[in-house]
Amino acid sequence: MIVGVLGGGQLGRMLGLAAANLGVRVRFMDTSAEAPARHVGELIVDDFDRPRRLSEFVRGLSLVTYEFENVPAALVERLSRTLKVYPGPEALRQAQDRLNEKTLFSRLGIPTARFAPIDGPGDVPAALAHVGLPAVIKTRRLGYDGKGQALVRTTGQAAAAAAELGAGRIPLIAEQFVRFDREVSVIGVRSADGSTAFYPLTENVHAAGILRTSRAPLPGRGAAALQRLAERHARRVLAEVEYVGVLAIEFFERAGSLLANEMAPRVHNSGHWTIDGAACSQFENHLRGILGLPLGPTGALGAAGMVNLIGDWPPLARLAAIDGARVHLYDKQPRPGRKVGHVNVSAPSAAQRERVMRAVEREVRRAGRIS
């Protein structure tokens, strides 16, 4: 059996590693011959917009999935004429555009920050009147790791940011700036037969728009009520688009309520802890879901944590020396702001998890160069 994966980044690489354990082969398509997934499966180097090696890519595939949501809709549409593509085109269409996803959340009764489209510079005043200040202006498509967004505090800043982001040429969205207590995410999986499973909510800390650390199960009180709420929201989304595979939804938690920020129709950075901290990882469960296998157990084995390695990584020997830390490097070239690996921590107690995470963060600081 061969699964096709559009994209060969670190998410593809980790999908490939999980596939190997199930005896499933993986074939990636990526624009780079240096794609991090190149050593865990076959790699077809091609252009997603104008593929030239598509027949080579699809040969013998059982189905196709993807590891980034910016796959051109035309390619997915073309592939889905002859092959199952999971998650399906509708889920992708909703998740590719911040306006679509927030509109979907609202339609399903899932609270969000106030939002308004900006289709041209002339829309800025009305959008601000709706969302208020401060606001966050974002490109509707193609943004990631905080790229393509600006926090604005005045109408002047908003007009400048909208112009800078390409208002009129590129569709934008304005959002109310949320003073959240913390950020949490839910990773859910739905199988083709409609069964679902959810991992414990994860607490996520971002800096400069990039995820730095995750902790699960959710520390602090009130976790059970938030878990029920998040699962109810996620179940609605999964059912609405007849979703198949892993879906991540990011929320802002504020005064015990959850505001949905965005969703990712794929395995997600905030679920990396599941590789070492759950009996069945998000990567394996994504494969189980799309292959129609029974879903695996999603409970946390202990207190789990994850520290992203961004820009560069400390010497492997120093990380490997930390008891309770599991190192995952992506075989990428160091570059500022780039996710090059992560360290998972699973510990018998939250206190022990914090000790190990601090030890990892000390190494990250000591290595410098890392941002």
Ligand X SMILES: Nc1ncnc2c1ncn2[C@@H]1O[C@H](COP(=O)(O)OP(=O)(O)O)[C@@H](O)[C@H]1O
Which residues of this chain interact with ligand X, rule CB under 6 A? 113, 136, 143-146, 175, 177-178, 183, 206, 209, 250, 261-262
Strands 172-176 vs 303-310: parallel, antiparallel or unpaired: unpaired
Backbone angles phi, psi at 267, to 5 degrees: -60, 155
Draw the binding track, 246-285, toward Mg ion (x: CB under 5 A; -: no contact): ----x-----------------------------------
CB of 175 to ligand X, least distance (A): 4
Please count the other Cβ atoms lying within 10 Å of the Cβ belonging to residue 166: 12
Span from 7-15, 53-61, 116-124, 244-252 in contact with Mg ion (CB under 5 A): 244-252
Q: Least distance from C-beta 173 to Mg ion, angstroms? A: 14
Q: Report how far residue 117's alpha carbon sits from residue 101's, in angstroms, rounded to the nearest whole number.
A: 12
**Residue 78 binding result from ligand X, Mg ion, none, given CB thresholds of 5 to 8 Å by partner type:** none
Nearer to ligand X, 38 or 98 (CB): 98
CB of 251 to Mg ion, least distance (A): 10
Residue closer to Mg ion, measured from CB, 144 or 334: 144
Instruction: Pick what 46 binds: Mg ion, ligand X, none; C-beta below 5 to 8 Å, kind-dependent.
Output: none
SS3 label, residue 351: helix
Q: Near Mg ion by CB under 5 A, which window of 6-14, 164-172, 245-253, 296-304?
A: 245-253
**CA distances (Å), 250 to each of 205, 268, 352, in order?**
12, 10, 26
Distance from C-alpha of 288 to C-alpha of 359, rounded to nearest angstrom? 35
Nearer to ligand X, 57 or 251 (CB): 251
N-term to C-term CA, the chain: 40
Residue partners of 241: CB distance under 8 A and separation at least 6: 87, 88, 90, 91, 94
Number of residue whose CB is nearest Mg ion:
250
Smallest distance from ligand X to CB 185, Å: 9
Shortest gap between Cβ of 308 and Mg ion (angstroms)?
13
- Residue 316 interacts, among Mg ion, ligand X, none and using kind-specific CB cut-offs from 5 to 8 Å, with none
Nearer to ligand X, 73 or 205 (CB): 205
Q: Which is nearer to ligand X, 22 or 178 (CB)?
A: 178
CA separation for the pair 367, 238 (Å, rounded):
42
Whether 292 contacts 192, CB under 8 Å: yes
* The residue to which tokens 């999971």 are assigned: 86
Q: Angle 98-107/223-240 helices, nearest 10 degrees?
A: 110
- Closest separation between CB of residue 215 and ligand X, Å? 15
Radius of gyration (Cα) for the chain, nearest Å? 20
User: Are residues 295 and 238 in contact, defined by beta-carbon separation less than 8 angstroms?
Assistant: no
Which CB, 173 or 241, lies closer to ligand X? 173
Q: Compute CA distances 132 → 43, 153, 259, whole Å.
A: 47, 9, 17
At its nearest, how many Å lie between ligand X and the CB of residue 246?
17
**Which CB atom, from 180 or from 352, has the smaller least distance to ligand X?**
180
Binding site partner of 183, from Mg ion, ligand X, none, Cβ cut-off 5-8 A by kind: ligand X
- Where do contacts with Mg ion occur on this chain (CB under 5 A)? 250
